[in-house]
């Protein structure tokens, strides 16, 4: 182990986010996975349930035990359900561990809003304040040197990266924003439910949680911060019969006359140096398959002179830029490493 090698533990390692974290961390030049953790399968082998991880160096699942984690790791990724992280992360932080939380438990500054949208008890406000919202392409240096990162939600990542430059520049009226978002079924996690049952979702396409999705307040909180004034949005989620990927189509009214070329140039300037965001050329709109398995967010535009509106299309892989990849990007920033470490690869195609 080199001096810069960081020891990492993954709680929730038997879930989709956890398994994806392990896949990337195994290839990270500065990290060693020293503990894989399960609340229900401690003592068994991770590779028994996930044969693609056969011969993983640390295979035996540990229990969720803060002292044990502290003895084995420097940083902990909590890929745990909402309502679990809120209690667990404070204990890990109190033990002196760095924490990257993938759940929604520390994203909203307001405990009241959290309770309303997530239907769980909010986290202790003292720890809510400690959490840094890790959307690096928008809030730049916030993640650098942080001890505790709240990783953004999958839909908010895709939506906000698509809208942030236009909102920041005042090119669109934030009050007119409408977002149609579509996700593959891995966004729902590995647990079984009727919604993701093969015969329910195959050959099907449906809207869900309409005007009730827990990501609405996160999107509004983030767009309000960028706009410098309160923003509310209409945001509708849809489930698509595919495994990975999110595509967001955002519509908004222009505040002035602009062209596709104006948007492309302005977005490229805003995201200059941010290699995970790729702006498409005029008339080229991204598809989920074009970011599959990667940490990219690709964005394309169409200004409609007839309506005075712009349509912005953004895509991510929900398990990578929407979860594990962005979490590792945040770890890299916390540690002052190259933002790309362990994430430098091209999307899988076809
Ligand atoms: N799937 C996605 O695309 C995204 C997910 N997220 C968020 O990441 C988190 C993980 O999601 P995902 O991996 O999809 O979910 P999964 O349902 O696939 O996995 C969650 C894991 O959490 C573990 N777990 C359950 N209860 C506890 C507990 N009390 N203590 C410790 N661990 C527990 C379970 O493993 P075990 O029983 O072995 O402990 C389970 O495998 C969630 O908060 C989700 O909202 C965020 C962005 C995108
Ligand atoms: C398809 C699907 O069900 N997606 C999930 C996405 C939520 C998620 O993954 O959790 P975070 O809130 O931590 O981002 C949903 O709509 O609730």
ipTM above 0.95, yes or no: yes
pLDDT of 140 strictly over 90 = no
Query: Any idea which ligand is nearest the CA of 192?
Result: 1
User: Closest ligand 1 atom, CA of 61?
Assistant: 38
Mutate to test the pocket of ligand 1, among 10, 12, 47, 196 (most ligand atoms within 8 A of CB): 12
Cα–Cα dist 275/270, whole Å: 12
Amino acid 80: pLDDT: 98
Q: How far is the CA of 327 from the centre of ligand 2 (A)?
A: 16
Summarised one tens digit per residue, pLDDT across range 147-180 is 999 999 999 999 999 999 999 999 999 999 999 9
Summarised one tens digit per residue, pLDDT across range 46-56 is 999 999 999 88
Alpha helices in 228-308 (DSSP H): 260-270
Cα–Cα dist 159/314, whole Å: 7
pLDDT of 200 strictly over 90 = yes
Q: How far is the CA of 2 from the centre of ligand 2 (A)?
A: 37
Summarised one tens digit per residue, pLDDT across range 201-215 is 999 999 999 999 999
Cα–Cα dist 286/350, whole Å: 14
Percent helix, strand and coil across the chain, each to the nearest 5: 35, 20, 40
DSSP classification of residue 172: B
- The pLDDT-based confidence of 264 (bands split at 50, 70, 90) is very high
Query: Any idea which ligand is nearest the CA of 104?
Result: 2
User: Closest ligand 1 atom, CA of 18?
Assistant: 13
Q: Which residue in this structure is represented by tokens 């009241």?
A: 112
DSSP classification of residue 335: H
Pull the structure tokens for residue 327.
Answer: 């979490």
Query: Any idea which ligand is nearest the CA of 183?
Result: 2
> What residues flank ligand 1, with Cβ below 6 Å?
11-12, 14-18, 38-41, 64, 79-82, 84, 102-104, 153-154, 186-187, 189-191, 318-319, 322-323
- The total number of residues written for the chain in this structure: 350
pLDDT of 40 strictly over 80 = yes
Q: Report yes or no: 10 and 22 within 8 Å, Cβ to Cβ.
A: yes
Q: Which domains does the chain have, with CATH numbers?
A: 6-130 (3.40.50.720), 155-318 (3.30.360.10)
Catalytic residue among 89, 154, 158, 297: 154
Q: Report yes or no: 19 and 193 within 8 Å, Cβ to Cβ.
A: no
Q: Which residue in this structure is represented by tokens 């595919």?
A: 242
Give strand pairing partners of 118: none
Q: Which of 28, 3, 52, 1 is nearest to 341 (CA)?
A: 28
Q: Which residue in this structure is represented by tokens 């005075």?
A: 308
Mean pLDDT of the region 2-17: 90
Q: Give me the percent of the chain exceeding a pLDDT of 70.
A: 99
Mutate to test the pocket of ligand 2, among 114, 182, 183, 323 (most ligand atoms within 8 A of CB): 183
Taken in order 81, 296, 261, 224, the sign of the CA dihedral is: positive
Q: Report yes or no: 8 and 32 within 8 Å, Cβ to Cβ.
A: yes
Task: For residue 228, count other CB atoms closer than 10 A to its CB.
Answer: 11
User: Where is 225: in which H helix or E strand?
Assistant: helix 216-227
Amino acid 29: pLDDT: 97
Pull the structure tokens for residue 263.
Answer: 């948007």
Say if strands 98-101 and 148-150 run parallel, antiparallel, or are unpaired.
Answer: parallel
Q: Report yes or no: 85 and 103 within 8 Å, Cβ to Cβ.
A: yes
Q: Give 255-270 as a DSSP string.
A: SS---HHHHHHHHHHH
Cα–Cα dist 173/187, whole Å: 30
Q: How far is the CA of 213 from the centre of ligand 2 (A)?
A: 9
Phi, psi torsion values for 128, nearest 5 degrees = -60, -40
| Non-local CB neighbours of 286 within 8 Å, separated by 6+ positions | 247, 278, 280, 298, 299, 300, 313, 314, 315
Mean pLDDT of the region 31-44: 97
Q: How far is CA 17 from CA 80, 101, 177, 186, in A?
A: 9, 11, 30, 9
- Whose CA is closest to atom 45 on ligand 1? 103
pLDDT of 2 strictly over 60 = no
Amino acid 4: pLDDT: 72
Amino acid 57: pLDDT: 84
> What residues flank ligand 2, with Cβ below 6 Å?
103-104, 153-154, 183, 185, 187-188, 214-215, 237, 239
Amino acid 1: pLDDT: 46
Pull the structure tokens for residue 318.
Answer: 């929900």
Q: How far is the CA of 79 from the centre of ligand 1 (A)?
A: 5
Amino acid 141: pLDDT: 81
Q: Give me the percent of the chain exceeding a pLDDT of 90.
A: 96
Mean pLDDT of the region 191-196: 92
Amino acid 145: pLDDT: 92
Q: What does pLDDT average to over the chain?
A: 96
Q: How far is the CA of 109 from the centre of ligand 2 (A)?
A: 19
Summarised one tens digit per residue, pLDDT across range 114-135 is 999 999 999 999 999 999 999 9
Amino acid 9: pLDDT: 98
- Whose CA is closest to atom 17 on ligand 2? 188
- 154 is annotated as an active-site residue: yes
Q: Which of 213, 204, 149, 217 is nearest to 181 (CA)?
A: 213
Summarised one tens digit per residue, pLDDT across range 74-108 is 999 999 999 999 999 999 999 999 999 999 999 99
Q: Report yes or no: 276 and 333 within 8 Å, Cβ to Cβ.
A: no
pTM of the model: 0.97
């Amino acid at each position: 182990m080199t001096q810069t090698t960081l020891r990492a533990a993954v709680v929730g390692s038997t879930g989709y986010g956890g398994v994806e974290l392990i896949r990337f961390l195994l290839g990270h030049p500065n990290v060693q996975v020293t503990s894989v953790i399960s609340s229900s399968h401690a003592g068994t082998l991770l590779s028994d349930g996930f044969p693609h991880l056969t011969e993983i160096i640390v295979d035996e699942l540990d229990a969720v035990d803060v002292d044990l984690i502290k003895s084995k790791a420097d940083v902990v990724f909590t890929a745990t359900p909402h309502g679990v992280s809120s209690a667990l992360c404070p204990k890990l932080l109190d033990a002196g561990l760095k924490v990257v939380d993938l759940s929604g438990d520390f994203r909203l500054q307001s405990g009241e809003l959290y309770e309303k949208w997530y239907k769980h008890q909010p986290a202790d406000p003292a720890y809510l304040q400690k959490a840094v919202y890790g959307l690096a392409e928008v809030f730049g240096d916030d993640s650098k040197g942080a001890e505790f990162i709240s990783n953004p939600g999958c839909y908010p990542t895709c939506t906000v990266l698509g809208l942030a430059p236009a909102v920041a520049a005042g090119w669109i009226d934030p009050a007119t924003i409408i977002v149609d978002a579509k996700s593959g079924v891995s966004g729902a996690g590995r647990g079984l439910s009727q919604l993701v049952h093969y015969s329910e979702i195959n050959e099907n396409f449906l809207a869900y949680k309409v005007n009730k999705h827990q990501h609405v307040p996160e999107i509004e909180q983030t767009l309000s911060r960028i706009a410098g004034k309160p923003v509310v949005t209409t945001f509708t989620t849809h489930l698509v019969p595919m495994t990975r990927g999110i595509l967001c189509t955002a519509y908004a009214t222009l505040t002035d006359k602009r062209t596709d070329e104006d948007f492309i140039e302005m977005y490229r300037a805003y995201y200059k140096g941010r290699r995970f965001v790729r702006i498409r050329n005029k008339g080229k709109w991204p598809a989920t398959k074009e970011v599959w398995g990667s940490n990219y967010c690709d964005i394309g535009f169409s200004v409609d002179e007839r309506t005075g509106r712009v349509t912005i299309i953004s895509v991510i892989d929900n398990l990578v830029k929407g979860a594990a990849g962005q979490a590792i990007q945040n770890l890299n920033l916390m540690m002052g490493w190259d933002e790309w470490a362990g994430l430098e690869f091209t999307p899988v195609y076809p």
